[in-house]
Amino acid sequence: MAKLGQPIKKLADLLEGTQAKPVVVPSRLAPSVIYDVEYRTSVVALAFEAFARPFGIGGQSRISAAKLKLLQFVILRPWLLPAIREWSEGLAQGSLDLTYPVRIRRGFLSDTAHEDVVNFMTACGVFVRHGSHLLTGEKSAYLGEIKRALTEGGLFQNERQIISELSDVKFTNNMLEGW
Amino acid sequence: MIYLKQIEVRGEAQAGKFSGVLNLTKGLQIISARNAYGKSLAAKAVTWCLGLEPIFGNPDNDPIRLPEAVREELELGEHSNSVVLSSECSVTFEDDKGRSVRITRPIKGSDASFVYIGERDADGKERKSKLLARKLTMQDEHGGFQRFFFEWLGWPRIEVPTFRPGGSEIYLENLAPLFYIDQNEGWSDLQSLQISRYGQLEIAEIAVEYLLGAMDAMRGRLARLNVNRRTAELKESAKITTEQLTDKMLRYGWRIDWSSHGSLSEIIARWSKRTIRRALEEDASVDIALRQADLSAKIDRLRTLLTSGPLDSNSPVAPIAASQRAIDLKKRRHSLSQDLSTSNLQLRETSSLVESIEHRLHAATDLLRLKTTGVGRLDHLECPTCHRDLDATLFGLTSQSAESVEAHIEALKSDRELVIRNREALSASVTAAIAEISEVDSELRDAEKALMTVTAAVGAAREQLASTASELNAAERSYDRLSEASGEIEEFQVSIDRWISDAKSLTAAGEVGIDHVGRKETFAAALREYLVALGHSAIDVHTVQMVSLDDEYVPYMNGRRLRALGSASDQSRLVAAYSLALAASAQKIAGKHPGFLILDEPLQQNPDASHRELFLTFLMNQVARRSDFQTVIFTSLFEDEIKKLREKNTMVVTPPGAHFLSLEKKHEFPSPEKAEIKDEGKKAV
């Protein structure tokens, strides 16, 4: 908190000279948990465990990197679920694919935090990049451990609920291309 | 005070009639017999006769808790597996004045929902009755067993508030867990057999206070509980009234600030400060009386104009005015529809914002748990090549501290509150807009009808008359609507005034009576004495003074619950000490304890030799033997133990025979009453 409060403190010092009475509310300085690495890794782990498919004969699993990005984006913002469902169904009807993803696109393109999390997990050996896909790496056991611990601890039930609802949504190539 | 004089079980099996009798005396006595002798049957017969099956979680009148020997089949001498045809049990109590009561209840072969009572007063006069064991046992003045038993004991009936609507009262099954410690379930905790499914509030504390005779304390507690319950009811009623009132006012298009937030006294102060009419004047600028007066004057003027007013045969104003009014109303309706559409959109957006905040709040709360407990945390991730710990900051990622997450949760909670208030305001706007549109619609319909009538009229004079008549009609309808609103406001005001009166009359709970402090201290002192005597491992003569009872009569020592201290085997010592201390202190301070205590198999609670030794030492101790109340302990002792106890003058009863139940030698078993009468006759001779 002290680190976060530094620029505000400087601003407060400056304002003090102008006889203004600055009031610092620490709770307003705290960043959203959406930027926390542990939260992001938990969500990525839950999404990967739910949607990755077995690949090859080495017991590995894989998922399209774009699909994982879209999945975690919706899991973190469950109010987008109806929009993504409409988008998926709209595409099946072969029309209006330009209008449906508008709400999804907002913020999705600038979501670089997910790429950072995947890079981090790749560097740790949890994932291995394989073209446009992510494969389980030598430390992939972490994913299962996280899922088990979160489930047993009753944590992130909302996120797990969204994952279960997302399992009914069909992610087409159209939805995953061009990001 | 009473004591348990006799327990008797009898019946008929295929092998013949069987019975078992256990005669008891005042004071401490140990009933020692081998396992499977039938001690538990004797102990449980007491609970069955007293109709206490609910404490075991059994349905009313279901003897399932009693051993199979009295329900299914039993071994009688050389007859093994002899099917039971019928059975019943009896217990006899006697009080200090020489009165006795014998309670008999069928187990098999007859209707178990009845108990048969044989009373004998101090003069030897007898009376027999048949009462309902469970159904309306307390409420039925003439047929309820507990009603009779409480009266016979001189125990008062006490009403107890419950979680559910409609109160309850204290029953025998609420008190029994303090003087009947069951072999299987009674030793795990203090009052472990206390009934919770009746929904009685603070029943464990009330039961202790009842037996201690702390009636003032109990009444104070009950008064406080009643006040709490009534407060909750009044707050709920205030909430409903507020919702109905604001909704009704919004339907008239009037928004008033009428809330049910805060404590009861805050609501009383707020609601007493101004009436609904005043709130309407101040918040919505609606003075109903003034509006009614204006409308009334308008109606009079229009009537006069219609009946005797002058007519201008050349004036073209009437159709123009009627048309303009319809146009104005259409414009207004359009504008209101646009406003409603905007409000609805904002309401939807705000609702999804609330949903989003709720989600983020859940996520943040779970993340805080993850950070504080470490559940599901991805720790010690290292580079697979160089095996050094990888720092997430190298990847532009941050791991927030628990304090930061906590601060974020606070911010989210504050946001949620604000957005929820915003949503409520928007919802109110939508309701008000719908009401206003409906009102404008109605006016528009009138205006269109008036326009049609005026345009259909021939000549300026008829046009003026038609216009005036339409205007009069509209004014009268507005007046009626206002009168209807006024009547509804009056009804709400009456209901609010009644609520204020009810809330004001709710007095604070009575203070804890002075008698309570002394009685509680007597109980605590006795508990200390018994804990030391029973050898509780966390307590000795030096530390025992630190043992105290909290407001819920839970024993504490040094700020920790006593059940959390000592070894596992101390749990049964605590239960025994608590029950014995309650009986001893109740006797000392003339409480309502029945005067007998049944401890079923205290030695079986721990196979540890030292536990056995400690308990036997206690039984030889003066503290155990000097008590005037009756303590019946069912257990199995070794020969040398019995000898040692008897040497110390501790009464040990070793019932004869291989089993408690045996075949009767005579065909007709004399009832205990008859036997006693015969004995008395012999004595007289």
B551-584 residue pLDDT tens: 889 999 988 899 888 888 888 999 999 999 999 9
Contact between B464 and B315 under an 8 Å Cβ cutoff? The reply is yes
Spatial separation of the C-alpha atoms in residues B485 and B478, rounded to whole Å: 11
Cα distance from A38 to chain B (closest Cα, Å)?
7
ipTM (interface predicted TM): 0.83
Rounded to an integer, what distance in angstroms lies between the CA atom of residue B424 and that of residue B346?
11
Beta-carbon separation of B366 and A31 below 8 A: no
Nearest 5°: CA angle at B12, between B7 and B15? 125
- Token pair for residue B255? 């928004």
* Chain A interface includes B373 (CB < 8 A): yes
Please enumerate in sequence order all residues whose Cβ is within 8 A of that of B58, keeping only pairs 6 or more positions apart, or say none. Answer: B64, B65
Structure tokens that stand for A38 in this block? 């542990």
Contact yes or no for A79 and B356 at CB 8 A: yes
- Torsion angle, CA of B164/B165/B166/B169, rounded to 10 degrees? 20
Q: Is residue B174 within 8 Å of residue B162, measured between CB atoms?
A: no
Take residue B162 and report the two structure tokens written for it: 């419950």
CB-closest option in A112, A120, A153 to B376: A153
**Which positions in chain A touch B370 (Cβ < 8 Å)?**
38-39, 42, 150, 153, 155
- Determine the 3-state secondary structure of A19 from DSSP: coil
Mean pLDDT within B208-233: 86
pLDDT digits (tens, 9 = 90+) for B457-510: 888 888 888 889 988 988 999 999 999 999 999 999 999 999 999 998 885 544
Nearest CA in chain B to A5: B404
Query: CA B540 to CA B256: how far, in whole Å?
Result: 67
Answer yes or no: do A32 and B352 touch at CB < 8 A: no
Structure tokens at B543: 């530390």
Predicted pLDDT of residue B161 = 81
What pLDDT, in 10s, does the model give residues B505-521?
A: 885 544 445 556 788 89
Tell whether B376 is within 8 A of chain A (Cβ): yes
Taking residue B65's Cβ as centre, other Cβ atoms within 10 Å add up to 18
Q: What are phi and psi of B91, to 5 degrees?
A: -130, 145
CB contact under 8 Å between A29 and B407, yes or no, is: yes
pLDDT of B90 reads: 96
- CA pair distance B19, B76, nearest whole angstrom: 10
Integer Cα distance of A68 and A61 in angstroms: 13
Distance in angstroms (rounded) separating the CA atoms of residues B399 and A39:
9
- Per-residue pLDDT tens over the stretch B3-32: 999 999 999 999 899 999 999 999 999 999
Place of tokens 């027999």: B128
In this prediction, residues B386-392 reach a mean pLDDT of 71
Contact B326/B333 with Cβ under 8 angstroms?
no
Closest chain B CA to residue A143: B378
Determine which helix (DSSP H) or strand (DSSP E) holds B556, and give its type and residue range.
strand B555-557
Q: Are the CB atoms for B104 and B112 separated by under 8 Å?
A: no
Partner residue facing A78 (CB), from B359, B382, B410? B359
State whether residue B372 sits within 8 Å of chain A by CB.
Answer: no
CB of B384 within 8 Å of a chain A CB? The answer is: yes
> Do the beta carbons of residue B60 and residue B54 sit within 8 Å?
yes
Which pLDDT score, from 0 to 100, does residue B381 have? 66
Q: Which residues of B touch A39 (CB under 8 A)?
A: 363, 367, 370
Kindly list the residues from chain A whose CB atom is less than 8 angstroms away from the CB atom of residue B403. Answer: 1
Q: How far is A154 from chain B (nearest CA, A)?
A: 9
Per-residue pLDDT for B326 more than 90? yes
User: Between B88 and B165, where is the model more confident?
Assistant: B88
Distance from CA of A93 to the nearest CA of B (A): 27
What lies within 8 Å, CB to CB, of A11 at 6+ separation is: A22
Q: Mutation test of the interface with chain A: which of B355, B366, B387, choosing the one with the most A Cβ atoms within 10 A?
A: B366
Contact B410 A27 (CB under 8 A): yes
Percent of chain B past pLDDT 70, that is, above it, reads 93
Asked if B224 and B210 touch (Cβ cutoff 8 Å), the reply is no
- Which residues in chain B have Cβ-Cβ distances shorter than 8 Å to A78? 355-356, 359
A-chain residue closest to B370, CA distance: A155
Residues of chain A falling short of pLDDT 50: 1-2, 95-96
- Cβ neighbours of B402 (radius 10 Å): 13
Instruction: With a cut of 50, say whether residue B51 has pLDDT above it.
Output: yes
Cα separation of B94 and B672, whole Å? 14
Please give the backbone phi and psi of residue B626, each rounded to the nearest 5 degrees, phi first: -80, -10
Residue, of B39 and B379, whose pLDDT is higher:
B39
Average pLDDT, chain B: 88
Q: How many Å lie between the alpha carbon of B408 and the closest alpha carbon of chain A?
A: 5
Contact A79 B371 (CB under 8 A): no
CA–CA dist B314, B28 (Å, integer): 118
Is B82:B90 a contact under the CB 8 Å cutoff? no
A14 Cα to chain B: minimum distance (Å): 25
To the nearest whole Å, the CA of B421 is away from the closest chain A CA by: 19
CB contacts of A45 in chain B (<8 Å) are 378
For the beta sheet containing A60-64, the strands, ordered from the edge strand earlier in sequence to the opposite edge, are A53-55, A60-64, A133-136, A127-130
Using the CB atoms, write b or e for B326-343: b if 16+ within 10 Å.
beebeeebeebeebbeeb
CA-nearest of B182, B171, B234 to B206 is B171
Please name which of A140, A138, A116 lies closest in space to residue A48, comparing C-alpha atoms: A140
Q: Which of B362, B381, B383 to mutate to test the interface with A (most CBs of A within 10 A)?
A: B381
Q: Are the beta carbons of B411 and A27 separated by less than 8 Å?
A: yes
Asked if B360 reaches chain A (Cβ–Cβ under 8 Å), the answer is yes
> A4 vs chain B: nearest CA distance in angstroms?
9
Say which of B370, B378, B408 has its CB closest to residue A30.
B408
Interval B126-171: pLDDT, tens: 999 999 999 888 888 888 999 999 999 999 998 888 877 777 899 9
Give the Cβ contact number of residue B247 at 10 Å: 12
pTM above 0.90, yes or no: no
Q: Are A118 and A101 in contact (CB under 8 A)?
A: no
- Looking at residue A4, what is its pLDDT? 52
Q: Is the pLDDT of residue B255 over 90?
A: no
Residues of A in contact with B401 (CB under 8 A): 1
Phi–psi pair at B289, nearest 5 degrees: -60, -45
Residue B668 pLDDT exceeds 50: no
- What share of residues in chain A are helix, strand, coil (percent, to 5)? 60, 10, 30
The domain ranges of chain A are 36-172
- Which of B367, B383, B384 is opposite residue A33, by nearest beta carbon? B367
Q: Which among A37, A146, A153 has CB closest to B392?
A: A37
Fold of A36-172: Arc Repressor Mutant, subunit A (1.10.10)
Which among B395, B400, B403 is the nearest to A36, CB-wise? B400
* Candidates A39, A122, A161, partner chain B, best to mutate (most B CBs within 10 A): A39
Which residue on chain A is closest to B368 by alpha carbon?
A33
Q: Does the beta-carbon distance from A146 to B376 stay under 8 Å?
A: yes
**Residue in B closest to A124 by C-alpha:** B383
* Alpha-carbon separation of residue B630 from B184, B393, B596 (angstroms): 22, 74, 4
* Nearest C-alpha in B relative to A162: B359
Q: How many CB pairs under 8 A join A and B?
A: 128
CA gyration radius, chain A: 20
pLDDT at A107: 65
**C-alpha distance from B384 to closest chain A C-alpha (Å):** 6
Structure tokens belonging to residue A67: 């699909």
Lowest pLDDT segment from A41-55, B580-594, B614-628: B614-628
pLDDT of residue B568: 80
pLDDT at A24: 72
Cβ-defined contact of A158 to B359 (cutoff 8 Å)? yes
β-bridge pairing B630-635 and B28-32: parallel
d(CA B243, CA B132): 47
Which of B355, B363, B414 minimises the CB distance to A39?
B363
Least confident of B232-246, B349-363, B368-382, B512-526: B368-382
pLDDT of residue B642: 92
CB B30 within 8 A of CB B619: yes
Task: Please identify which residue in the block is written with the tokens 């905040």.
Answer: B357
Q: Which residue on chain B is closest to A42 by alpha carbon?
A: B376
Measured between CB atoms, does B402 come within 8 Å of chain A?
A: no
